[in-house]
Chain A
């Protein structure tokens, strides 16, 4: 043992003995006792057992918290599902990408030695256009106000059933307002003179 080793050990020993003494002095100071004695503990395990036995059907105190968490989770999942369902038709209405390269089965000519095989890929399933939702007039192919496409001067005019001498096929035939007026004037011109007199008086 060298002199340094001896000195180191001696220093450590004195250090340890000094710390041991200090430790003993610390131990002599007692920590503060609890304010409640064992018999006066507010909720001892016996009381807790008694309360559990007295109310065997009651749920533990933390159950409402668990129930709240479960309800919040369910509501969140429900909202997520509804959002997904609402977004689904919008995605489905996107026009199919025609420019995408079509994948076609290619049959390769292989040498006889190699095993022949045909790489066939499953066909790409494209979602067909479905007009079930949303129910817009365009999607349902309902033509609102079809007369708008007809010019004003050739719009059909409906007639009431009359006892005039005009031919039935002429009445059914749609005519414009100018033609109708012309026909009326012609029919007036063909009537007898007394009738014309009454007509002019009524005007």
Chain B
């Protein structure tokens, strides 16, 4: 059990943190609580990755409620300092631009994009997380990608396809 948890943490912690950042300013707390909750389970769930995403989502929303009681200034400082992505010299996007583009998306689209791209969840798993049908999730995912592409590349998808 301990080895499984450790492997899950090492493999999925960055994506889970990014996922928790959608709702709360201190995503490590949400991830930690979710891991402790997973360790308390007598039997490992059939799909532990999807289970972890569900647990992180729940904890992050709860933490967000308690964070609202803290001072707003403290939250702002913590939020601007946190870097969502690793910054490397030769990567496809500048990490700060990607972070800004991701933050400009509506919360629901942001959740779907993070869970799909960095969490590598299927559309069915994401649909179970946010309670929509998989076709709706797929449609919103495409809309979000098009919006991100327009913001990051500066060219909308329609123009690219017409070229």
Contact = CB atoms under 8 A, between A and B. Distances in A.
Contact of B32 (A11, A33, A41): A41
B145 A34 contact: no
B84 A18 contact: no
Interface string A72-107: 000000000000000000000000000000000000
Interface in A41-85: 41-46, 48
Contact of A19 (B18, B35, B95, B157): B157
B77 interface: no
B142 A38 contact: no
Interface of A is mostly: helix
Contacts of A26: 92-93, 98, 113, 117, 148
Nearest to B8: A38
Given A19-B157, A25-B92, A31 B146 contact: no
Interface stretch (B9-17, B43-51, B65-73, B121-129): B9-17
Contact of B161 (A18, A23, A48): A18
Contacts, number: 86
A34 B40 CA distance: 22
Interface of B is mostly: helix
Interface of A: 11, 14-15, 18-19, 22-23, 25-36, 38, 41-46, 48
A23 to B, nearest CB: 6
Given A19-B149, A23-B145, A29-B92, A43 B86 contact: no
Interface in B59-94: 82-86, 91-93
Contact of B18 (A14, A31, A35, A38): A31
Contact of A23 (B40, B82, B84, B117): B117
Contacts of A30: 14, 85-86
Interface string B100-119: 00000000000001000110
A74 B51 CA distance: 39
27 contacts: A11-B161, A14-B161, A15-B161, A18-B157, A18-B160, A19-B142, A19-B146, A26-B113, A27-B118, A29-B91, A29-B92, A29-B95, A30-B85, A30-B86, A31-B84, A31-B85, A32-B14, A32-B83, A32-B84, A32-B86, A33-B14, A34-B28, A34-B31, A35-B28, A44-B36, A45-B36, A45-B39
Interface of B: 2, 5-6, 9-10, 13-15, 17-18, 28, 31-32, 35-36, 39-40, 82-86, 91-93, 95, 98, 113, 117-118, 142, 145-146, 148-149, 153, 157, 160-161
